[in-house]
Amino acid sequence: MSERAPVLRYEVERGRARLVLDRPEKRNALSFELLQELHDALWRADDDPRVHVIVIKGAGPCFSAGYDLAGMAGERPTGADAQERRGSAALDDDIWQLERAQRLRMAIFDVHKPVIAQVHGHCLAGGTDVALLCDLVIAAEDATFGFPPARDLGSLPTQMWLYHVGPQWAKRLLLTGDTITGREAAQIGLVLKAVPARHLEAEVEGLADRMARIDPHLLAVNKRVLNVGLELMGARTLQRLAAEYDGRGHQSASARRFVETARNEGLKAAFRRRDEGFGDGRARVDGPELRDAQGRLVDPAADDPE
């Protein structure tokens, strides 16, 4: 039986490790395999004395369009530790699976070295779970951030939005599943900075150059004391609770309908049914949210009297 090809590229150069999500044909959808490889690569980089800073980025047209809903359900532990009872029908089994994936993602928060997310294209659902655990997020201005599955599938299994943008913007975006651009994400503090897409690579590499000049032990001290501050504000406890609340959300009638539609008609039909009625699915950070009959945002200037 042939081994699977890696779904993450690992590169070390000039004091940085680049971890590249490498499923461009799937828009870097987060399978359990990809999360496992990301987890292992993070700790590998953390243990490498050549590495001062870690960069996570996506191959192809986007950072990550979310979780691999088609594949995740079929991926289970193998060997002596496999347990047939750990499916997803029972609430505790679902939470068990959610916590298993969360432990892999939390390596981003837990590694000693700083982690930068370099975001272009879509950063949706599970993509935000990865990006927002990073220490710094730099995005293309035309990137797209959001968690559309909050409309019908459950809660967020990683709850870092509150710590980046505060309760009101977190609620505005998560209670609707609407999306914002990278430029708007920088305005509300969801990301550190947004730059034109053509400058994104240089912006991230320039920041990594500066960190590569700093003793990695000092980088670790400064990252970890700030993360302890987040923990004192409840961040780690909230992540632990997030898996449980997501499991509860999966018991809702809308989540059950999503699963039934996906099973009978396919994921595209389930996504279409979820998003119908939401127009272009966007929120607007500045100015009124004027919409046309299809629910798409329109330019507020068109409504102003001359």
DSSP 38-52: HHHHHHHHHT-TT-S
Rounded to an integer, what distance in angstroms lies between the CA atom of residue 159 and that of residue 237? 10
CA distances, 48 to each of 17, 25, 207 (Å):
9, 30, 20
Please choose, from the candidates 99, 106, 287, the residue with its C-alpha nearest in 3D space to the C-alpha of residue 187.
287
The beta-strand segments (E) located in the chain are 8-13, 16-21, 53-58, 115-119, 122-124, 136-140, 144-146, 179-181, 193-195
What pTM was computed for the model? 0.92
In this predicted structure, what is the pLDDT of residue 78?
A: 43
The owner of tokens 């359990």 is 32
Rounded to an integer, what distance in angstroms lies between the CA atom of residue 123 and that of residue 63? 6
Residue 220: count of CB within 10 angstroms of its CB:
16
**pLDDT per residue over 99-119, tens digit each?**
999 999 999 999 999 999 999
Instruction: Give the chain's radius of gyration (CA, Å).
Output: 20
Domain topology for 8-298: 2-enoyl-CoA Hydratase; Chain A, domain 1 (3.90.226)
Please give the structure tokens belonging to residue 291: 């919409």
Instruction: Name 99's Cβ contacts closer than 8 Å, sequence gap at least 6.
Output: 240, 243
Residues of the chain below pLDDT 70: 1-3, 71-89, 302-306
Rounded to an integer, what distance in angstroms lies between the CA atom of residue 224 and that of residue 230? 10
Please choose, from the candidates 122, 174, 120, 170, the residue with its C-alpha nearest in 3D space to the C-alpha of residue 144.
122
**pLDDT per residue over 75-103, tens digit each?**
444 444 444 445 556 899 999 999 999 99
Rounded to an integer, what distance in angstroms lies between the CA atom of residue 258 and that of residue 68? 15
Roughly what angle, to the nearest 10 degrees, separates helices 91-105 and 32-46? Answer: 40
Q: Give me the residue spans of the domains in the chain.
A: 8-298
In this predicted structure, what is the pLDDT of residue 304?
A: 61
